[in-house]
Amino acid sequence: MIVGIVGCGAIANLITGFVRDGKVPVELGFFYDRDLERAENLASMVDGTAVLDVTDMLPHVDLVVEAASPEAVRELVPGILEAGRDVVVMSVGALMDPELRSLLEKKASENNAEIHVPSGAIVGLDGLKAASMGSIRSVKLVTRKPPRSLGISMDEKKVLYTGKASEAVKRFPLNINVAAALSLACGRDIDVEIIADPAVDRNVHEVTVKGDFGEFKTITENVRCSINPKTSVMAAYSAIRLLKSLSENMHIGT
C-alpha cells in the first residue's frame, strides 16, 4: 500500500519513523505540508517525495493520512475522496460539523473510498461503540491538561469548560479531538469538562459511560509528543496501528 501524508508535524514524524524502521509494512511515498521544508524533511527520512500540492500525490497513492488541521479536512479531504483515495482523518474535531461529515460520506460512497478515524488519544472507543448498540444513558469526558498543552499559562487549577462536545470543539478546536471521537463513536453529543491543571504533566482523559450494558470508566494518561506538546504520543500510535491493521487479514478488537 502506498501512503501519502498531509501535514508533516508531530504525528507525521512518528508515523514516518516507524515506517523507516520497518515496523509498518506500507510505503510512505508522498508528503505535503503548507510548510514545504517540513514535507521535505520527512520525505528525506524514507526516500519519499515532497509535493507542492496535494493533488500531485493523488495519482500515485492508495491512501492519504490527514495529520494537519481541521481546515485541511474541510479544504483537502473532499478532493482526496473524489479521486477515489481512502483517507485517515486525525483532525476528527472537524467531523463534528454535520454538513462536512455528510459531504465526506457522500463523496466516499460515490467514489468507492473509505474514511478511517483512528481511536486517537483515547482508549475504550471499541467498548463505547459496542455499548451504543444498546441504550446509553450518559457519556462524560473529563480532560485534564497542563496549561501549556492548552496554549495558556496559569498557576492554579481552573475549569475552562463544562458543556457539550459540539460547543467544546468550536472553542478548543485543536485540543478536543477526543471529545469528537467519543461523540461520533456513540452518536450523541457527549458531556465534556476541560480542566487546565498545572499539577499534571500528562494529558489525562477520564471517560465514564453508563447504559443498559452496565457501566465502564477509562482513564488514559498520555505522554505528550516532544515536537508538539498539545498532541499525545498515543494519537500517533493509533494511526500507526491503523496503517498496520489495514495491511493485515485478521482484525482483533475492532
Ligand X SMILES: NC(=O)c1ccc[n+]([C@@H]2O[C@H](COP(=O)([O-])OP(=O)(O)OC[C@H]3O[C@@H](n4cnc5c(N)ncnc54)[C@H](O)[C@@H]3O)[C@@H](O)[C@H]2O)c1
Out of 3, 10, 95, 165, which residue is the one contacting ligand X (CB under 6 A)?
Answer: 10
Footprint on residues 214-253 left by ligand X (CB under 6 A): 227-228, 231-232, 235
Give the position of cell 450494558.
Answer: 213
The answer to the question of whether 72 is labelled as a binding residue is no
Stretch that binds ligand X, among 3-11, 95-103, 130-138, 207-215 (CB under 6 A): 3-11
Out of 72, 95, 108, 192, which residue is the one contacting ligand X (CB under 6 A)?
Answer: 72
State which amino acid sits at residue 122: I
Cβ 176 to ligand X, closest distance in Å? 8
Out of 3, 5, 11, 184, which residue is the one contacting ligand X (CB under 6 A)?
Answer: 11
Stretch that binds ligand X, among 100-108, 123-131, 171-179, 191-199 (CB under 6 A): 171-179
Based on the shown chain and the rule CB under 6 A, indicate whether residue 90 belongs to the binding site for ligand X: yes
The answer to the question of whether 121 is labelled as a binding residue is yes
Cβ 171 to ligand X, closest distance in Å? 14
- Please answer whether residues 209 and 215 qualify as being in contact, where contact means their C-beta atoms are separated by less than 8 angstroms: yes
Out of 26, 104, 113, 121, which residue is the one contacting ligand X (CB under 6 A)?
Answer: 121
Q: From CA 39, how far away is CA 50, in angstroms rounded? A: 5
Cβ 170 to ligand X, closest distance in Å? 14
Based on the shown chain and the rule CB under 6 A, indicate whether residue 33 belongs to the binding site for ligand X: yes
Residues in contact with ligand X, counted by CB under 6 A, come to a total of 30
C-beta nearest to ligand X: residue: 9
Out of 29, 48, 120, 147, which residue is the one contacting ligand X (CB under 6 A)?
Answer: 120
- Please answer whether residues 194 and 140 qualify as being in contact, where contact means their C-beta atoms are separated by less than 8 angstroms: no
Q: From CA 141, how far away is CA 190, in angstroms rounded? A: 8
Cβ 147 to ligand X, closest distance in Å? 17
Is residue 251 flagged as an active site residue? no
DSSP string computed for the chain: -EEEEE--SHHHHHHHHHHHTTSS--EEEEEE-SSHHHHHHHHHHTT-EE-SSGGGTGGG-SEEEE-S-HHHHHHHHHHHHHTT-EEEES-GGGGGSHHHHHHHHHHHHHTT--EE---TT-S-HHHHHHHTTS-EEEEEEEEEE-GGGGT---SS-EEEEEEEHHHHHHHSTTT-HHHHHHHHHHTS--EEEEEE-TT-SSEEEEEEEEETTEEEEEEEEEPBPSS-TTSBHHHHHHHHHHHHHHT-S-----
Out of 16, 143, 149, 177, which residue is the one contacting ligand X (CB under 6 A)?
Answer: 177
Cβ 96 to ligand X, closest distance in Å? 12
Residues that are catalytic:
205
Tell me the binding residues.
121, 177
The residues of the shown chain that bind ligand X, judged by CB under 6 A, are 7-12, 33-35, 38, 67-69, 71-72, 75, 90-92, 120-121, 174, 177-178, 181, 227-228, 231-232, 235
